[in-house]
Amino acid sequence: MAVTRERRRQDGTPASLAIGRSCGAARVDALLAGQAAYYSARAPEYDDDAYPGSVELAFAAILDRFDPAGDVLELACGTGHWTPGLLRHARTVTAVDASAEMLAIARARLRGQAVQFAQADLFAWQPSRRYDVVFFGFWLSHVPPARFGAFWSLVASSIRPGGRVLFLDNTRGRRDENVPRRPAGTVLRRLNDGRAYQVVKVAHQPASLAGRLARLGWHAHVIPLSGHFYWGAARPQPAGQDQLGPCPDAHCLAARLEEDS
Ligand SMILES: C[S@@+](CC[C@H](N)C(=O)[O-])C[C@H]1O[C@@H](n2cnc3c(N)ncnc32)[C@H](O)[C@@H]1O
Ligand SMILES: [Zn+2]
């Protein structure tokens, strides 16, 4: 019997199935199409699976101190779960999502408020203007490693000089998602009717994510929240500043929030 010497990752996944940075573009495109289809199909049941109350409370307090004032861009807004919180501070919110079904729910939730919606694929979209704050909730974990740098370039091209970025996500998928032999960096998600979809889920860890953002030129703080969640704040790194040590900025709001948490 021929012995196939296949390189395997530590979790046992054949390297050829993992969706790392070197993964083929066609494979990533196919995964992203499936992921978008999953969220469209899931839209009517999305809000039944609410976020834990502890995360809601903690993030409301973070939002109040971060104060996302001015014109805010919300990427992958979904059903508009976090949009009312942004609107407590923002003059306007522009909310982008790929799914017409998600956007229909968000539009109904936010009728009459200062929100403009746009349906777009974030891996192809470019902003037509710049914003004071860019926010994304539970989106970064759905960005495949091969698109991580391009996504952060999109964020950079969306903020004004002096603009800021705020994000919220989780450090792991749900327990029932640990399906054996899945390609690493993806999870299997099921709708209530049992249909299954493979979606990207990259479980970033706060310290390594902050380091990665620093290497891309961001001054970033990524801060754990209880219950396998994290939030982060970032802005373009001022020239000549090294963010890989302790925060060098005495006025850094994210550093103060990190100390408080
Ligand atoms: C995990 S949900 C997060 C929704 C919302 N931000 C929240 O925290 O409740 C991910 C969202 O990304 C959207 N999405 C998936 N692929 C997308 C793409 N390529 N471009 C834009 N949005 C996309 C989905 O429609 C869905 O609304
Ligand atoms: Zn700082």
Residue 3 maps to a domain = no
Pocket of ligand 1 (CB under 6 A): 32, 35-36, 39, 76-78, 81-82, 97-99, 102, 121-123, 137-139, 142
What integer pLDDT is reported at residue 1 of this predicted model? 38
- State in Å: Cα 233 to ligand 1 middle: 19
For 98-140, the pLDDT digits (tens) are 999 999 999 999 999 999 999 999 999 999 999 999 999 999 9
Residue 8 maps to a domain = no
For 22-33, the pLDDT digits (tens) are 678 888 999 999
pLDDT mean over 172-177: 68
Q: Which ligand is nearest to the CA of 187?
A: 1
Residue 191 maps to a domain = yes
Specify the ligand 1 atom closest to the Cα of 168: 8
Question: Is there a contact between 89 and 63 (Cβ–Cβ < 8 Å)?
Answer: yes
* Percent residues over pLDDT 70 in the chain: 83
CATH of the domain at 31: 3.40.50.150
State how far the alpha carbon of 8 is from the alpha carbons of 12, 15, 16, 124, in Å: 6, 5, 8, 32
Distance CA 246, CA 255 (A): 9
Residue 230 maps to a domain = yes
Helix, strand, coil percentages for the chain (3-state, nearest 5): 35, 25, 40
Find the domain containing 107 and state its range. Answer: 15-260
Distance CA 125, CA 98 (A): 10
| Of 15-19, 65-69, 104-108, minimum mean pLDDT range | 15-19
> How many domains would you assign to the chain?
1
Q: Would you say residue 54 has pLDDT above 80?
A: yes
* Percent residues over pLDDT 90 in the chain: 72
- State in Å: Cα 249 to ligand 2 middle: 5
Residue 22 maps to a domain = yes
The pair of three-digit structure tokens given for residue 75, joined into one six-digit string:
């990427």
75 forms beta bridges with 96
What integer pLDDT is reported at residue 175 of this predicted model? 63
Grade residue 227 by pLDDT with cuts at 50, 70 and 90.
confident
pLDDT mean over 7-30: 62
For 84-94, the pLDDT digits (tens) are 999 999 999 99
Distance CA 186, CA 165 (A): 25
**Protein residues placing their CB within 5 Å of the ion ligand 2:** 247, 249, 252, 255
Average pLDDT over the chain, rounded to an integer: 87
Distance CA 40, CA 195 (A): 13
State how far the alpha carbon of 13 is from the alpha carbons of 17, 82, 163, in Å: 7, 35, 40
Helices (H), the chain: 25-46, 53-66, 83-87, 100-109, 148-156, 206-215, 253-260
Residue 2 maps to a domain = no
Distance CA 23, CA 20 (A): 5
Residue 74 maps to a domain = yes
Nearest CA to ligand 1 atom 1: 138
- Which amino acid would we find at residue 129? R
What integer pLDDT is reported at residue 11 of this predicted model? 39
Q: Which of 122, 147, 166 to mutate to test the pocket of ligand 1 (most atoms within 8 A of CB)?
A: 122
**Of 173-177, 179-183, 241-245, 257-261, which has the strongest mean pLDDT?**
257-261
- State in Å: Cα 18 to ligand 2 middle: 33
Residue 133 maps to a domain = yes
pLDDT mean over 201-215: 94
